A and B are shown apart, each in its own frame.
Chain A
Amino acid sequence: MSSADALECHVQKRLGDFALDISLSVPASGVTALFGQSGSGKTSLLRLIAGLDRPDAGRVRLGERTLTDIANRTHVPIHKRQLGVVFQEARLFPHYRVRSNLTYGMPPSARPRFDDLVSLLGIEHLLERLPGTLSGGEARRVAIGRALLTQPRLLLMDEPLTGLDGERKQELLRYLVRLTREIDIPVVYVSHDTAEISAIADHLALVEQGRLTAHGQLDELMMRLDLTDRLGGFDAATRLSAKVVDHDSHYSLTRVALDDGQTLRIPAIEQPPGTPIRLRVGVRDVALAHVMPEGTSYRNGLSAVIEAIEPSPQAPSASEVRLRVGRQRLRARLTRQACDEMQLEAGKTVIALIRSVAFDSRF
């Protein structure tokens, strides 16, 4: 365990026919997504970390503190773990008002944070309401606030967007992304939705049939062809980090700059200039050209260097081109025919064309 890790766990548990056997380190900052299909064991792993279940063997450590060590018969009870847990359902207490739900686990030292957090989550106007009167998205925001006000050393979130409809989901996701940038505690985020994860996660742990099959920086894992099937398949994407430069209110566009100074135009976002944002770029939304074409509807052309060209695992007609843009990386899926006719090869400089309207997630 490196000193930068907040949580280290090595757990085994049998659940009927299913065997969970996972070693995982969670970095001390950022959001770590536990990603996998339903039934892969990601929620079981979260329950073992939270202390809701006990592993058959193994240990869980949070910083210097041992939470579970079966060999030493250590199992810190759930209420002494200092972990914030946000469940799939909000699990608000129906007989307490929102305010009392929020303060249920709040130590006096968290008092000064109450107002800030409440306004960050946009729940000021709900404080005197009873949970039964809240919408699904509101209830989840209260549940997230309630968990954070316990001043946890780690926040565990189990598919907090499940069951919300499209609009509400996007809204809560925006709150979550803002929140995870404001708080300085590590977050473990369970999800099976690639779009959700590319919006929020820094690190990714891929869980399949009770095993950890890949683990690392999400940006790097998204570049891996062998994971394409798991991370989006047909809709696979990569991410670019950028900063807001300015807004064009006439066309409702926002200009953002990459770390090497190249700029992109994306549909307008609300964040003020200077705000760091992440752009999800679908591999099918990137076209390549030798020179920036004239008279084209493409709004964005990034100078990029080809790193590698490999056959796509998705279709025999396609090739996956890995590109380097400044210090960042990008993937493009082209037909093999186009690659051949353009005589693309590693080391060549090309223009990566991206349609502005292709940027759907705006975080």
Chain B
Amino acid sequence: MLVEAMALSDAEWQAIVLSLKIAGSAVGWILIPGIAVAWLLARHEFRGKALLDGLLHLPLVLPPVVVGYLLLLSLGRNGWLGQWLYQGFGFSLPFTWQGAAVAGGVMAFPLLVRAVRLSLEAVDPKLEAAAGTLGANRWRVLFTITLPLAIPGLLTGTVLAFARALSEFGATITFASNIPGETRTLPLALYTLIQTPGKEAAAARLCVLSIVIAMLSLIASEWLARRARLRLEERDR
């Protein structure tokens, strides 16, 4: 009886798997641009740097619904970018899980950039200059010195971004809507249950599930960060 009561329903499984898929894809598509932008901000001076920095932080301070609406305006079928995507590739983002991944990625982007930028700035530029005198070009310096030394921050940023994408609600529901099996992630499923009279128990179950997943990702993040630290320290010792 208890085991059956504990077992997850299909709808619950669907929401979990979908959430993980969307959050994973969100992190996947922002990872490389995020590192690139963080590197640009950490290691280069250029015109408009302050503007870029400000724009990057917008998703942190804007209401998520505004971000979702802006995405709809630009990436919707009639949006300037969406039109080009649809006519050029027959590809449309709104109301799809890919769209939800885009929304989650945009919301998580500033967190990723911030964490990676901090860890890149902590890498001693003198070591990079030394690598240059040993004949390493800019790319080799990046891949053999800068990024390896920034790995703890890279991991933290990735997990943080994943957690942010997982909990994304406002931008997702505005841009990708709340379609079961397509864009109904855990937060959206929870919201739907709360809106439905008599589903309090089911809502409570999802609530507990969310807490469990959040805890697991926090633990995973701690574990990864500690492992990376230990590896660097072991190398230092």
A: residues with CB less than 8 A from B are 50, 52, 77-85, 87, 89, 91, 93-95, 104-105, 130-133, 146-147, 150
Q: Closest residue of chain A to B236, judged by CB?
A: A132
Are A79 and B133 neighbours in the complex by a CB distance under 8 Å?
yes
A-B residue pairs in contact (CB < 8 Å), sample of 23: A50-B133, A77-B132, A78-B133, A79-B136, A82-B135, A83-B133, A84-B133, A85-B130, A87-B130, A91-B129, A93-B127, A93-B131, A94-B127, A94-B149, A94-B232, A94-B236, A104-B134, A104-B144, A105-B133, A105-B135, A131-B236, A132-B236, A150-B134
Contacts A79-B132, A93-B127, A105-B135 supplied; 6 other A-B pairs, CB < 8 Å: A79-B134, A80-B135, A91-B127, A94-B127, A131-B236, A147-B133
Question: What chain B residues lie within 8 Å of A105 (beta carbons)?
Answer: 131, 133-136
Which of A131, A133, A146 contacts B134, CB < 8 Å? A146
C-alpha gap A105/B132 in the complex (Å): 9
Question: What chain B residues lie within 8 Å of A150 (beta carbons)?
Answer: 134-135
A91-B127, A93-B145, A94-B149 in contact; A78/B132 too (CB < 8 A)? yes
A105-B135, A105-B136, A132-B237 in contact; A95/B130 too (CB < 8 A)? no
Are A94 and B133 neighbours in the complex by a CB distance under 8 Å?
no
Q: How far is the CB of B236 from chain A (nearest CB, A)?
A: 3
Q: Closest residue of chain B to A81, judged by CB?
A: B133
B: residues with CB less than 8 A from A are 126-127, 129-137, 144-145, 148-149, 232, 235-237
Q: Closest residue of chain B to A50, judged by CB?
A: B133
Q: Closest residue of chain B to A82, judged by CB?
A: B135
Q: How far is the CB of B145 from chain A (nearest CB, A)?
A: 6
Are B149 and A95 neighbours in the complex by a CB distance under 8 Å?
yes
A89-B126, A94-B149 in contact; A132/B235 too (CB < 8 A)? yes
Which of A79, A95, A133 contacts B232, CB < 8 Å? A95
Question: What chain A residues lie within 8 Å of B131 (beta carbons)?
Answer: 93, 104-105
C-alpha gap A82/B134 in the complex (Å): 8
Q: How far is the CB of A44 from chain B (nearest CB, A)?
A: 15
